[in-house]
Amino acid sequence: RGPEGLVPDLAGRRIVISAGGTREPLDPVRYLGNRSTGLQGYALARTAVARGARVTLIAANTALPDPAGADVVRVQTAVQLREAVLKAAGEADVVVMAAAVADFRPAVYATGKIKKRDGREPDAVALVRNPDILAEVSAERARPGQLVVGFAAETDDVLANGRAKLARKGCDLLVVNEVGEDKTFGSAQNEAVVLGADGSEHPVPYGPKEALADTVWDLVTARLD
Ligand code: CTP
Ligand code: CA
């Protein structure tokens, strides 16, 4: 047992966790972003360290202190996040994509600040698709038996959307939570259902993000060989 009376059931396991939200720059002073704070990903990192894992935390634009005992890699854009995740995934037993990755980025980056021009309507912002990191990691499996966990925030038909997303992404577990104006983002609490590729469905009651993180690790340890 470890210092907190925990069984170090992730001892020796290498775990990669992405957290936070990507920012996609328009010009040197502006970006497209999202409301993710990184709290759930950091809770995953802290609890994994407490259970003995060697954790690489890939943090996209978070304003949180580095979790003790984790290696932290800081990134901004989806393309940078992809590079960092793929690099770290090569050695990992588990990859958890808790980051909110922008689906699109501006097609053009203006190297100078975009100025408004008197009497003229603004230009529309053209967007292009970002790579789907979770789908790529799931398809590639850098190591045999590597487990891949995704997260999904949904607003309607939460379970049906989650099931379809799990199949589309090809991951082993998908943590699905319902979001709304005042739900999930920036909150220390979370409520979710963890769906398994084996058809399992594991509800996690409303509670601290650490509790959800520990449930994820319970489900992961049960699936690691
Ligand atoms: N994800 C990713 N790369 C992307 C988009 C999402 O790796 N370009 C990951 C997220 O980190 C998360 C999971 O995929 O673990 C689900 O993200 P979500 O936005 O719910 O999925 P999408 O396929 O983008 O579907 P939607 O159209 O509902 O946004
Ligand atoms: Ca998305």
Q: Which atom of ligand 1 is nearest to the CA of 18?
A: 11
Cα of 208 vs centre of ligand 2, distance in Å, is: 24
- pLDDT (0 to 100) of residue 202: 96
* Spatial contact of 14 and 93, defined as CB atoms under 8 Å apart: yes
What are 191-200's contacts with CB under 8 Å, separation 24+? 193/158, 193/159, 193/162, 194/219, 195/159, 195/162, 195/163, 195/166, 196/172, 197/166, 197/171, 197/172, 197/173
- pLDDT (0 to 100) of residue 181: 59
Q: Sorting pLDDT into bands at 50, 70 and 90, what band is 223? A: very high
Helices (H), 56-127: 78-89
What digits encode the pLDDT tens for the residues 15-46? Answer: 999 999 999 999 999 999 999 999 999 999 99
State ipTM.
Answer: 0.99
> Is 131 annotated for ligand binding?
yes
What digits encode the pLDDT tens for the residues 96-119? Answer: 999 999 999 999 999 999 999 889
> Is 87 annotated for ligand binding?
no
Ligand nearest to the CA of 21: 1
- pLDDT (0 to 100) of residue 189: 80
Q: Which of 31-40, 143-152, 173-182, 201-210 has the lowest mean pLDDT?
A: 173-182
- Tally Cβ neighbours within 10 Å of residue 143: 15
* Spatial contact of 30 and 109, defined as CB atoms under 8 Å apart: no
* Spatial contact of 78 and 135, defined as CB atoms under 8 Å apart: no
- pLDDT (0 to 100) of residue 148: 98
Q: Sorting pLDDT into bands at 50, 70 and 90, what band is 142? A: very high
